[in-house]
Amino acid sequence: MRQVAVVTGGSRGIGRACALGLARAGMDVVVNYHENQERALEVVDTIHSYGVRAIAVQADVSRSGQVKRLFEETAQAFGTIDVLINNAGISDSTLGMMISDQQMERSIDTNLKGCMYCCKQAALLMVRNKRGKIINLSSVSAFKGLTGQSLYSATKGAVNAYTKVLAKELARFNIQVNAVAPGFIETDMVSALPAAKQEEYLKLIPARAFGKPEDVANLVCFLSSGKADYITGQVMLVDGGLEIG
């Protein structure tokens, strides 16, 4: 029986690369999206071409009721869940003293609470099966102080701490929980940065290049596989050396 993976924010960027990578590895995939149904369905069509099953499910991960529905639809379609990739997230680049209440609430609701909502629903299903993999997408910003990233850094740092505790709590159920912390990856989020800011960040990266979504997806797929059964509670960087630069 094929394993089933849920990828939040799976219609583009890193989420899309993860969804396609897991499908190529032989998993059925639930592609979660917030707004862009067309892009999500394009990912689903590509996955079908690999000979596995896929569905697209709309849900705002910052809303607990919608997250519960996401996992209910997953269970209805596939019967279970084996892998959760918590990828959905947002980044508000703002100086700490200029962060608005709205920005703060939106980032915490999506990046932290969204991660926790999804982990809770996935764990409830995985515990019954006594197996599972949860990979939370963090960020190098949780390790390295970057101007304008205080809010993003705070939420991703919290994700790292939550990952470690959840890994300890779920280890006895044969569920591994890890986090992957990308650096600057060629996604819509990085493309939206002004050219001058992109050049500034490139100079900080020893590899002197932005990563590709597939660079992150390769590690995510490994952690989702049986080859990573003895790895849990870890936060792994994929950043071209940015954190040490």
Catalytic residues: 152
Angle between helices 64-78 and 114-129 (to 10 degrees): 30
Q: For the chain, first and last CA: distance in Å? A: 44
Compute the radius of gyration of the chain from its Cα atoms.
Answer: 17
Question: For tokens 């960020």, what's the residue?
Answer: 139
Residues 6+ apart with CB under 8 A from 65: none
Q: What residue spans of the chain are helical by DSSP H? A: 13-24, 37-48, 64-78, 101-107, 114-129, 150-170, 188-191, 195-202, 213-223
- Chain centre to alpha carbon of residue 43: 16
9 dihedral zone (left: phi>0; alpha: psi -120 to 50; beta) = left
Token representation of residue 233: 């509670």
- Longest Cα–Cα distance in the chain: 52
Token representation of residue 194: 């002004």
Token representation of residue 213: 């979504």
